[in-house]
Amino acid sequence: MADAVGKRVLVIDDASLVRRYYREALEHGGFEVDEALNGLEAMEKLLLAEVDLLVVDVNMPRMDGLTFLKVLRRQESSIASIPALITSTEAAPEDIEAAREAGANFYLVKPLSQEGLLHYARMLCGVPS
């Protein structure tokens, strides 16, 4: 199994247990992980440090995941092209389409397995499985 040393992921979710679960999976795979509670905090963090992947919840206070992605994709800098995995408990076709239109690379329905999250993280960061 390839190691993702040097690849950084920003996990954006208002639920501390979800952030911890994702962190454990990603760090086990060699990723460096930072966290944000919502889209506003994530935008601030992106101004301070480069990341290779975003794992974004849809439903969050202050700035939800879809709004965050729409704002991010309109930026005129390299942060606009950071790959993004959207995660949500919603699985209707219109939810998936809304995420795609906002700029998500993949839409994953919660609960996620740690192996599944790691698989998509590796794929989007160009790390062989």
Q: pTM to 2 decimals? A: 0.94
Distances (CA, A) of 85 to 12, 26, 28, 109: 10, 13, 18, 10
CA distance 12 to 108: 14
Structural domains present in the chain: 8-125 (3.40.50.2300)
Within the chain, which residues score under 50 in pLDDT?
Answer: 1
pLDDT digit string, tens, across residues 4-25: 668 999 999 999 999 999 999 9
